[in-house]
Structure 1
């Protein structure tokens, strides 16, 4: 089942006896945009739905021709539209909008999973007095969504994903015993499905799909490895030798596989995590290297932080297209820049370095990047 927005718009427009150009003029978009909406090529921005519904004198549900399931493309569109709304609407308006969609599609479990992920990725931008209050409230809401999925869906893949996200929420909410109750105390043995799928395509005599699947597995596992090593850095403050070894090895992986271009967001996360560690142990040289590297990544990826195939990973685009957000990162570039700015300008671990000349230069570069993106 799908939302038939394009068909409804076309039908309502024709019943009202207006042209695509007249509708476009009323809404404030181009005629081409209206044409693409009606043909199902794109969707209107979420903020335009109330205006369109009022113009045709129908409810938003009627405009959407609502049914309880959404396609992957529709889920992606709603997620990215809400994400974009953080830049144009108040936190209260975005929260109201998000709640409205959650209630409307509460039985569409793939959609609810993504809304829980959106809460995890953007809770700091939602209404609240301070970061801890926001974490308690919105991670609590995300936790309820993940439990709702786990309890009610029959889809094993969704159950597994929701369970891991449930555990993540509990960890951030400082409820470790419940995390261990859900996941156990040991890492489970993992048989990668990608190797089995590769083997199946190989037996079928389809080397192209076998190679694409193998690339996609390596592509994803690389990001998992880098995330795990980034988290590991934080555990090694009292073991400087292992800390430096982990840092150098992770840096080598990032450089070898061109991660700063493939997945700029995960490379930025490594830089900031490493910077916080090096600040705490007093390694000023590596601290400034990490911060300068993060700014260089932002400079190289001025337009977006999209996941990007390259000459080595040249067969992963189809796999990316099948993901919930396609090649879009969970936070847009503007929000990432603001997070980095907040870290550099306010993180307590950097306080003792703020009068250093190199830190002042870093802050000046950061200010220029923010101004260009505003």
Structure 2
């Protein structure tokens, strides 16, 4: 047993709760002198008092005693892979297994952040309200433990990002608005990190860091473009927006990298043009169908000749390279959104488009 760790932890947790030694002694039905001896390592708590202390401090006995083992990166990857597999078979097992891992490894903060990551990227797949509520409550418990005890700036930053995701899923938009700056300045940490690797002549690492940052930013930019178009936020017309996307796609191969996002853009463009220009509407639906086939054939984040060094980033991404979406539900939804739209039925090649979509869909079965 690490006596000094236990003594330090009791003192740290008491102060976090805002209590003096007398107040903690009152809660434990002991004396201030006993608490003082615990906190200096002169005396150990009775074994029956350790679970009470752990519950009071919202942690585990193992963590109090500093005996919880750390998961290696390979072990964590295997566990995350197993969790994603569980999710496809039983969403209840997915949540209960994460809860069990949390209880077993409450001071392995890097591992806990990985659990938050796989929960945040897959939370939308939990359709049942009660199960989703349970998962969100569990996520906030994990966040609390990390934010209370972890000292790693990197892990705390990731944890905060995941917490914002759970606020959003939970409909706590006021929390997001209160805690995030309206116009956050991007300080370019990854740009500086890549430059630091270059300064040490590690070109391979620098390339991977810079490409991964560009890849993530491009993904977010396209998602934001979808949001702007879907909600008709820009003052620009679709006639002005469509060329912007086409140039972006020409420069960065969006249709190949993120077909699931490109499809949404093509849908909105086709929906607009179907009222005024059949040829252009058909043009965008053809692109939609091409992206749909890419999605069905390879349901994952893609790379290309430019983004050829982002594979290490996928090793750190919670869901790996696979999309954090339900495959069967997604491919069926993206087919039906075209087939079920009465607007497209008047197009001269509507039956051909439907036939192509159904042929592609059959490849998913």
Distance 1:362 1:142, change over 3 A: farther
- Under a length normalisation based on structure 1, what TM-score does the superposition of the two structures give? 0.64
Residue correspondences, number: 296
Bigger relative contact order (CA 8 A; separation at least 6): 2
Q: Which secondary structure state, in structure 2, belongs to the residue aligned with residue 293 of structure 1?
A: helix
- Under a length normalisation based on structure 2, what TM-score does the superposition of the two structures give? 0.65
Please tell me whether Structure 1 or Structure 2 has the larger radius of gyration of its CA atoms: 2
- CA–CA separation in structure 2 for the residues paired with 1:163 and 1:302: 33
State the 1:179 CA deviation: 0.9
Structure-to-structure mapping, 1:318-337, within 5 angstroms: 318-326=312-320, 328-331=321-324, 335-337=326-328
Of 262, 267, 273 in structure 1, the residue corresponding to residue 259 of structure 2 is 267
- CA–CA separation in structure 2 for the residues paired with 1:198 and 1:93: 40
- CA–CA separation in structure 2 for the residues paired with 1:145 and 1:290: 44
Structure-to-structure mapping, 1:243-262, within 5 angstroms: 243-261=238-256
- CA–CA separation in structure 2 for the residues paired with 1:206 and 1:122: 35
Of 333, 336, 346 in structure 2, the residue corresponding to residue 345 of structure 1 is 336
Distance 1:269 1:256, change over 3 A: same
Contact 1:230 1:274 (8 Å CA) reproduced: no
Match in the other structure for 1:304: 298
Match in the other structure for 1:368: 359
- CA–CA separation in structure 2 for the residues paired with 1:351 and 1:169: 32
Distance 1:138 1:282, change over 3 A: farther
- CA–CA separation in structure 2 for the residues paired with 1:248 and 1:134: 43
Match in the other structure for 1:193: 189
Q: Which secondary structure state, in structure 2, belongs to the residue aligned with residue 305 of structure 1?
A: coil
- CA–CA separation in structure 1 for the residues paired with 2:350 and 2:135: 34
- CA–CA separation in structure 2 for the residues paired with 1:313 and 1:78: 27
Structure-to-structure mapping, 1:1-374, within 5 angstroms: 68-87=69-88, 89-126=89-126, 128=128, 136-184=133-181, 186-236=182-232, 239=235, 241=237, 243-261=238-256, 263=257, 266-272=258-264, 275=267, 279=271, 292-300=286-294, 303-326=297-320, 328-331=321-324, 335-345=326-336, 351-353=341-343, 355-356=345-346, 361-374=352-365
Distance 1:93 1:161, change over 3 A: closer
Unmatched 5+ stretches in structure 1: 1-65
State the 1:192 CA deviation: 0.9
Q: Which secondary structure state, in structure 2, belongs to the residue aligned with residue 252 of structure 1?
A: helix
- CA–CA separation in structure 1 for the residues paired with 2:342 and 2:122: 29
